[in-house]
Amino acid sequence: MKITHFDLNLFLRDYWQKRPLLIRNPWNEWRNPLDPDELAGLACEEGVESRLITRDADHLAMESGPLAEERFGELGSAPCTLLVQAVDQHAPEVAGLIEPFRFVPDWRIDDVMVSYATDGGGVGAHFDQYDVFLVQGLGKRRWRVGPRCDSATPLLPHDDLRLIADFEATDDWLLEPGDILYVPPCFAHDGVAVGDDCMTYSIGFRAPSRAELVENWCEHQVDGMLEEDRYADPDLSLQANPGEITAPAIDRLHAMVMEALSDRDAFARWFGLFNSLPKYPETDWRPEEPIGTQDVQALLAHSVPLSRNPASRFSFIRQQDETILLFVDGHCFEGTGEAALLAEQLCAERAMVVDSRLAESAPAVALIETLIGQGSLAFDGED
């Protein structure tokens, strides 16, 4: 499925991170990619993040998954919503939904959350920290969108949900299959299913918080610091009041911190790695049997297609000397020449046939072998 009736440049200029936009069915043809039953099945699986939200009069209650299968039979007629996170990691058709949104770089993309709701079901008025494209898959949902919120916006007291206390909508839209609502970070929104069998696909983005960056970059740098790397003052001179921490001392202390954190190249390498860490690190995607070097060579020589694990995070940084740093699931690979070209292709395409001559390239074969071994890549038909 492709988005064909949509001006990306105009969208980036006027709406991205600025204001909400309703995009009426821009697809060449829209088909709902996942069955409600398959979604319910995923919500019962260990290692899949899911929530069930039920409405009783005006009160919303939340349960975290995995859910017991019997739970679905007990729901009765009260409005409810089932939400499953990162469905793209488990259903290729849902992973395919990310492709049209790759006009935003991969490192900013988080996952596809899928919701299923019965008539009147919804998660309540709230705001998220991230951009989201809400694609209506099946049935209808009424979306009301409000102003931009922040940490000072009053919330209703609730143990599990961050619901806005005085939600006032500025827009009110009924979405039908194929329609897309773009909501920038922090804009209030409230979606309520109109009729049963309402499925919504949230293409969710991510943006590191300053706190997260500072904390993790500092922690990384601290790991490599030596005990003896310490404040020193061999030039100490007498000062009038021994109680004063003088300006030169502060300058020197401040410089110790800033110098340790300001190495841009080291930061780039660290960030690539940090950003490529898997969303669910406890999930083990490694194949049962590691692939051998000769098998990799033979499959490459026969132009067997390669597919990335949809759960894997691939990105690269081009260094000044044209070396490529490839980051995959928390690992860094440095390459030049044909290995660098291969790294770029792996980052550009989620499924691909690579040049069969790479079978002769030891670095390319080694890279593919390692990526297959860590569960980030597979030859088609060789799981």
Question: How many CB atoms lie under 10 A from the CB of residue 8?
Answer: 12
Neighbour count for residue 89 (Cβ, 10 Å): 23
DSSP string, 179-219: -EEEE-TTEEEEEEEEEEEEEEEEEEE----HHHHHHHHHH
Nearer to Co ion, 161 or 194 (CB): 161
- Closer to ligand SIN by Cβ: residue 110 or 369: 110
Determine the Cα–Cα distance for residues 218 and 256; give it in Å rounded to an integer: 13
**Cα Rg, the chain, nearest whole Å:** 25
**Residue pair 114/97 in contact by the 8 Å Cβ criterion:** no
> Which of Co ion, ligand SIN, none does residue 308 bind (CB under 5 to 8 Å by kind)?
none
Confirm or reject binding of residue 81 to ligand SIN (CB under 6 A): yes
Residue closer to ligand SIN, measured from CB, 20 or 335: 20
Q: Note whether 136 binds ligand SIN by CB under 6 A.
A: no
> CA–CA separation, 61 vs 158, rounded Å?
9
User: Of 144, 115, 126, which Cα lies nearest the Cα of 185?
Assistant: 126
In the complex with ligand SIN, which residue's Cβ is closer, 139 or 278? 139
Segment contacting ligand SIN by CB under 6 A, of 16-24, 115-123, 250-258, 277-285:
115-123
Binding of residue 144 to ligand SIN (CB under 6 A): no
- Residue 224 main-chain phi, psi, to 5 deg: -95, 10
Interface region with Co ion, contact rule CB under 5 A, candidates 3-11, 57-65, 120-128, 343-351: 120-128
Site string for ligand SIN, 116-135 (x = CB under 6 A): ------xx----x---x---
Are the C-beta atoms of residues 131 and 185 closer than 8 Å to each other? yes
- Answer with the entry of ligand SIN, Co ion, none that 115 interacts with (C-beta below 5 to 8 A by kind): ligand SIN
What residue is closest to ligand SIN based on CB?
Answer: 115
Q: Are strands 306-308 and 351-352 parallel, antiparallel or unpaired?
A: antiparallel
Q: DSSP letter string over 229-290?
A: -----TT----S-TT---HHHHHHHHHHHHHHH--HHHHHHHHHHHHTS-SSTT-----SSP
> Distance (Å, rounded) from C-alpha 290 to C-alpha 383?
10
90 or 189: whose CB is closer to ligand SIN? 189
Which of residues 50, 54, 85, 115 is near ligand SIN by CB under 6 A?
115
Nearer of residues 128 and 179 to Co ion, judged by Cβ? 128
- Decide: is 50 part of the binding site for ligand SIN (CB under 6 A): no
Site string for ligand SIN, 188-217 (x = CB under 6 A): -x-x--------x-x---------------
Residue 30 region, left (φ>0) first, then alpha (ψ -120 to 50), else beta? beta
190 touching Co ion, by CB under 5 A: no
Among 110, 111, 128, 329, the residue binding Co ion under the rule CB under 5 A is 128
- The binder of 110, among ligand SIN, Co ion, none, by C-beta within 5 to 8 A per type, is none
User: Does residue number 111 form part of the binding site for Co ion (CB under 5 A)?
Assistant: no
Interface with Co ion, residue 131, by CB under 5 A = no
Cβ 274 vs Cβ 240: under 8 Å: no
CA 226 to chain centre: 35
Of the pair 95, 123, the CB lying nearest ligand SIN is at 123
Considering the complex, state which of residue 175 and residue 342 has its C-beta at the smaller distance from ligand SIN.
175
Question: Cβ closer to ligand SIN: 34 or 372?
Answer: 34
Q: Total residues at the site for ligand SIN (CB under 6 A)?
A: 10
Residue 170: DSSP 8-state: S
Binding interface with ligand SIN (CB under 6 A): 81, 115, 122-123, 128, 132, 189, 191, 200, 202
Binding interface with Co ion (CB under 5 A): 128
